[in-house]
Chain A
Amino acid sequence: MATLKLEIVTPEKVAYSDDVDGVVIPGTEGEMGVLPMHIPLMTMIHPGELVVSKGNDRKYLAVGEGFVTIDQTSVKVLTDMAIEWEAIDESAAEAAVKRAEEAMARKHELGSEEAAAVQVALAKSLAQLHVKRRRRNV
């Protein structure tokens, strides 16, 4: 059976690299499932949950903003964050959300650049929490 070569790369490291059967990515236009032999496509992703399926095995990762390149045999994800759900530190993420929310409350004091950065940080932390909680409740 055809497989997809999935690569997830962040500025710090290559976070994931393996042959998989399918992957669901949190696209800016909504969630998108990708199977082998997909048409070549380039798209952007939002902070959210990325699901990798390999056989009966599923892996869940929290990812940040970035770009995805898909062709028939491979999926390349370029993002600023990629954490497997087991590795997410819930309390740290909660603290980060709290900090970011506080910063957002004082938004007018921040420059537009900083405000945008806080917004992104908030979305990323929320994505982490979302992924973690959903898995734990299953």
Chain B
Amino acid sequence: MAANTRDIRRRIKSVKNTSQITKAMQMVAAAKMRKAQQVAVAGRAYAELLAKVLRSVAAGAEEGAHELLVAREVKKELVLVISTDKGLCGALNTNLLREVAKFDPAKTIFVACGRKGSQYLARTNRTIAAEFELRDAPAFLETKTVSKFCMNKFVSGEVDKVTVVFTDFVNTLTQTPTVKTILPITSLEVSTGISGAHDAGKVEATQGESVEYSFEPAIGEVLSAVLPHHVYFQVYQMVLDSRASEHSARMVAMKSATDNAKQLIKDLTLEYNKVRQAAITTELLEITTAQMALG
């Protein structure tokens, strides 16, 4: 027999410990996931209506009425990477960073949100303009600081395009890494996700009716209030989506880890019993042989 019983016992014990930890992490992630999913989904009605408002405003505004609407030739691009702080969440960050790797490092500056993203950017020697840390349940104000930073870079002319790389939350089992341009504001789509199909139908219906709105106060003032707010809220929603994705991915990863550990324990126990049985048999054999020799 290759392994003795003590070694196997020790292995079983260590695997059991690991499975306890992964089980605990799974439970924690599940609880956080439920909350994060709720928040992420709840914001969608607001985002949808905001986009609708924006569309009507933009329809009434002339070409280039606001600096956030002006598309320039892209010489420099800013990419905001929303990643997780912690690992142990399956392939989530790997998939996300694969999207990040596609950007040309010479023409891009990065803003990192989350430790995993900033570690990756530092490791690959990319230009990092700023790093932000967000709490687990991010407040609107915190994400506003991030989006404001990006918007200032755009307004000052330092960059000509702002793109966000984040993980879109589809459902507990599916999270897709997504690349989305937020500045300049050109396409006025709503972040979809769960309610995707449902939203799309509604949006089309409202596009049919083109109503001329009057504005109070003047259109310029309404624009300069709505547009930044739209950007802030979009980033906020993306962060929420990323958080919901993170917890979902972690829960799934931890669940499979726990399942694997259980299977391993089962196999090891079988092995252990076999070894034990073999040892007993050998011992019995030795005793009988010894007795026969004496007799």
Contact = CB atoms under 8 A, between A and B. Distances in A.
A67 B45 CA distance: 15
A67 B215 contact: no
A42 B49 contact: no
Contact of A41 (B42, B43, B216, B229): B216
Size bin of chain B's contact surface: 20 to 34
A7 B57 CA distance: 18
Contact of B49 (A12, A13, A78): A78
B64 interface: no
B290 to A, nearest CB: 81
B201 to A, nearest CB: 17
Contacts, number: 73
Nearest to B211: A40
Judged by DSSP, the binding face of B is helix
Contacts of A29: 216-217
Contacts of A78: 46, 49-50, 53
A10 interface: yes
Contacts of B76: none
Interface in B210-255: 211-217, 221-222, 225-226, 229, 233, 236
A7 B49 contact: yes
Interface string A66-94: 01010100001010100000000000000
B292 interface: no
A42 B214 contact: yes
Contact of B215 (A13, A14, A43, A76): A43
B140 interface: yes
A51 interface: no
B148 interface: yes
Contact of A42 (B46, B50, B53, B233): B53
Given A11-B42, A11-B140, A69 B222 contact: no
B115 interface: no
B185 to A, nearest CB: 16
A71 B233 CA distance: 24
B216 A43 contact: yes
Contacts of B212: 40
Given A11-B233, A42-B57, A42-B222, A76 B144 contact: no
Contacts of B148: 113
Nearest to A12: B42
A28 B43 contact: no
Interface string A41-54: 11110000000000
A27 interface: yes
A2 interface: no
A11 B46 contact: yes
A37 interface: no
A117 interface: yes
A10 B43 CA distance: 8
A72 to B, nearest CB: 9
Contact of A40 (B39, B50, B53, B214): B214
Given A11-B233, A44-B221, 13 more contacts: A11-B140, A27-B216, A40-B214, A41-B213, A42-B60, A42-B213, A43-B216, A44-B225, A67-B53, A69-B213, A78-B46, A78-B50, A78-B53
24 contacts: A9-B45, A11-B236, A12-B42, A12-B43, A29-B217, A39-B214, A41-B215, A42-B56, A42-B222, A43-B215, A43-B217, A44-B222, A44-B225, A67-B50, A67-B53, A67-B226, A69-B52, A69-B53, A71-B211, A76-B49, A76-B52, A76-B53, A78-B50, A78-B53
